[in-house]
Each structure stands twice: as C-alpha cells, then as structure tokens.
Amino acid sequence: MPLYHDDDQAMLAETASQFMAEEGAIAKQLRHWRDRNCKDGFGHGLWKQFAEMGFTGMLVSEDDGGLGMGSYEAGIVLEEIGRNLTPSPFLASSVLAATALKHADDAARQRWLPGLVSGDLVYSVAIDEGAKHRPERIKTRAEKSGNGFRLTGQKDFVLHGASADMLVVAARTSGADDDADGITLFAVPKDAANMSHDAVRLVDSSMASHTKFEGVELDGDAVIGEVDGGREVLNAMLTAGRIGAAAEGVGVARGAMDMTVDYLKQRKQFGKLIGEFQALQHRAAHLYSEVEIARAVTMKAAQLLDGGSEKADLMASVAKAKVAKAAGLAVREGVQMHGGIGMTDEYDIGLYMKRDRALQEFLGDMYYHASRVADMSGY
C-alpha cells in the first residue's frame, strides 16, 4: 500500500490536527493540568470531546457502537496528540484496552465498550512488573477460587492506573513465570476489593501507578479471551499499542522539529538569522529525513496490522525502535539549537524532550525492540 493518506484519512488528519491544536494545545491542557498538580494528569472534559469527535471508539467495531476503523487511523490521531503533547488516555484506553476487548465475550463488550465510546469511562492495561518492559515474564498470579479467580501480585507504571475505571490485567494462571503459555487477561473494575494504587507522576507530568493486587476476587466473567490462552490476546494488544506509541512518537518528533525550524527562522546572531548558517541547515535537513523515515515505517506497520499480515509484529518493533531514535534526535537537536533558553520551562521545547523520554520507555525502549527485531529476523 502507498505510504500516504487516502481522501478519508486526509480528512481525518485535517480534523484531528485542527482539533488538537485548538483544544489540546500545550498551554490549554499540559501546562494547565501540570501546574495544578492534577491527580489524573489529563482533563476529563477533553476526553468527552474526544468522544464527541468519535476518537474514543475508533477501534471499536460498528456492531459495538464504534467507528470500526483501524490502527492506521488511530495513528493519525496519535500523531497529532504527540505533536501537541496533548495529555489523554487515548493510547491506553482506545488502543490497548480496546484491542483487548475485541477478544472479550458479548457480555464483557456490552459492559465495557459503551462507556469507552461515550467518553464516560477511562481504561488502562497492567502488564509490566518492574522498571523495564518485559512482558515475556509475568509472575502476577490468578488462582482458581470458587467459580472465579484470586489475583495476587503487583504491576508497575500502569498509565492512568489510579484514574482508570477498569484495568486489563495480564496474570499467570499456570506454568512458570517465563513460560509463553499460561497467561490469562482479566477485566478488573476500579472498585475491586484488595486492589490499591501508589500513584506517581512521570517525567512528562503524566500519571502512572504501582498497582497491588492482594487477593483480589474476580468472577469468571472477568476473563478476556480464554483461560491460559491469553498470550495471543496480549501480543495483539502489545502490537497495536507499540504501533500507536510509535505514531505518537512521530508526532512528538515533528512537533519538536517544527518548533526548532521556526526558531532557526527567527533567531539572529552576528547580524544573520541562525537558519542561514550552513552547519545548522545540514543538521535540520538530516533531522527532517530521519523523522520522515520514522513516520514511513510507522505507517507501514499500521498498514500491515490492519491487513492482518504476520509481519506486523516485527514491523511494530522496527517502528518503535526507529521512532525512538528519530524522536530522541529531534528533541536533543531542538534543545541544543534553542541554546540556553531551551533548558527553561518558559519554552515548550523542553516539554517535548520530557514526553519523548517517557514515551521511549513505554512498551519497550529502543534497545528492547532492536534486540527483538534481531531475534525475529534470525540474527
């Protein structure tokens, strides 16, 4: 497929761009909630506006009340979220959790999806159990208890964990901690007894939590997919989430690059615009090419996923690794070319660096995915 938008996708991109620039701008959202030390890290009013735009249910089927779109379209929205540093639970709720709920039974979908589509509820996923993303090893246990399960363990850095109305939790129902099989996914409501959150504010001012499950009792209806067969659902969720995170990272890179290029056209030194200096022109041109390559590979990954290709998982890691490298370059060059003011909170360029730092770690950093690409490619 061509690496450009068709007419409908171009219209979506224009709509999302205008909406995020107006309603999700840095001063209006990120700085607003950060400076008020908001416990959620985002505005629920904006989340309702996302729903009015149809964004919250993009990956929800039309039969379940959504738009029935794909990863490519979700990536368009995520790129604009990244470009404007718009704080929202879109990636966790409308991509990760929504992908998991596709595999749920009718009763679970009817229980959870309407609230997501309407923007009344926020969901997240609880996967990681340490400082680094290592989903191959899951030790949180779900043991049989009557007609249901008893959940015990801890998940770390759960995005919006304390704010979520439901968590999709990956737990082990059989086997050793590092076995591929024996994983089951559960939909855990926020009012579940014996679940607690230690909320933490991340470097980009978003909120996450260390979530403990100390004998949380769940009935059988909480299971998403099949008991012991959750690895396939988990992998599908991770692939969609990684492509989504890459798309947001592309937005962060493009936002930082655009801000930097604008500064090069305005700042004068030695009686000339600094953008006239050839050394800075070369660096800006190199940055542009790196960001465009990252954007192209992310678009390709989304197309492969939507097309049901077996290569989608591999390309998701390629995209995540490449975007991490390109976005890291964009924010470093941005801060450096701004000079001293790039280190001040007054200028937004530093906020892009902070978002990039948090986003790089989410669902695996550059080194994790580079290693994964090597393994999957047989190197």
Same domain, 223 and 253: no
Angle, helix 7-23 to helix 71-84, in steps of 10 degrees? 30
- Kindly state whether residues 64 and 131 are assigned to the same domain: no
Q: Indicate whether 236 and 291 sit together in one domain.
A: yes
Indicate whether 129 and 196 sit together in one domain.
yes
Same domain, 235 and 355: yes
Using the 3D structure, point to which of 90, 107, 122 is the last residue of a domain.
122
Average pLDDT over residues 245-264: 96
Picking from 210, 228, 246, the residue at the C-terminal end of a domain is: 228
Judge if 132 and 81 occupy the same domain. Answer: no
Contact 268, 274 (CB under 8 A): yes
Residue 1 lies in a domain: no
pLDDT for 275 beyond 90: no
pTM of the model: 0.96
Q: What is the pLDDT of residues 276-298, one digit of tens each?
A: 889 989 999 999 999 999 999 99
Would 103 be classed as within a structural domain?
Answer: yes
pLDDT tens string 320-351: 999 999 999 999 999 999 988 888 899 999 99
Which of 228, 243, 276 is at the close of a domain?
228
Q: Cα(33)–Cα(50) distance, rounded to whole angstroms?
A: 17
Average pLDDT rounded to a whole number, residues 25-45: 96
* Whether residues 276 and 372 fall in one domain: yes
Q: To 10 degrees, the CA torsion angle through 361, 367, 370, 372?
A: -80
The whole-angstrom separation of Cα 286 and Cα 306 is 31
103-120 b/e (C-beta count within 10 Å ≥ 16 → b): bbeeebbebbbbbbbebe
In the three-class reduction of DSSP (H, G, I as helix; E, B as strand; rest coil), residue 153 is classed as: strand
> In terms of domains, do 238 and 203 share one?
no
Q: How does the average pLDDT of the chain come out, rounded?
A: 95
Please count the structural domains in the chain: 3
Q: In this structure, are 333 and 295 located in the same domain?
A: yes
Does one domain contain both 95 and 153? no
Q: Any idea what the CATH number is for the domain that residue 235 is in?
A: 1.20.140.10
Residue 213: its pLDDT value, please? 97
In a domain, 88, yes or no: yes
Q: Does residue 118 register a pLDDT over 80? A: yes
Residue 240 lies in a domain: yes
Task: Kindly tell me if the per-residue pLDDT of 378 is higher than 80.
Answer: no
Residue matched to tokens 């109305």: 165
**93 in Cβ contact with 63 (< 8 Å):** no
Q: What is the pLDDT of residue 208?
A: 97
Specify if 156 maps to a domain: yes
Whether 78 and 105 map to the same domain: the answer is yes
pLDDT value of residue 46 = 97
133-151 pLDDT per residue, tens: 999 999 999 999 999 999 9
pLDDT at 377: 83
- Give the CATH number, domain containing residue 13: 1.10.540.10
Termini Cα distance of the chain: 28
**Residue 2, in any domain of the structure:** no
- Whether residue 273 is predicted with pLDDT greater than 90 in this model: the reply is no
Q: Which helix (H) or strand (E) holds 367?
A: helix 366-376
pLDDT tens-place string over residues 183-223: 999 999 999 999 999 999 999 999 999 999 999 999 999 99
The contacts of residue 70 (CB under 8 Å, 6+ apart) are 59, 302, 305, 306
**Residues 223 and 309 grouped into a single domain:** no
Torsional class of 160: left (φ above 0), alpha (ψ -120 to 50), beta (otherwise)? left
Q: Tell me, yes or no, whether 72 lies in a domain.
A: yes
Give the pLDDT score at 379: 67
What pLDDT is stored for residue 339 in this prediction?
A: 87
SS3 39: coil
Residue 301, in any domain of the structure: yes
Task: Pick the range with the lowest mean pLDDT from 99-103, 337-341, 363-367.
Answer: 337-341
Domain that holds residue 80: 7-122
User: Among residues 272, 255, 238, 241, which one has the least CA distance to residue 352?
Assistant: 255
CATH code where residue 149 lies? 2.40.110.10
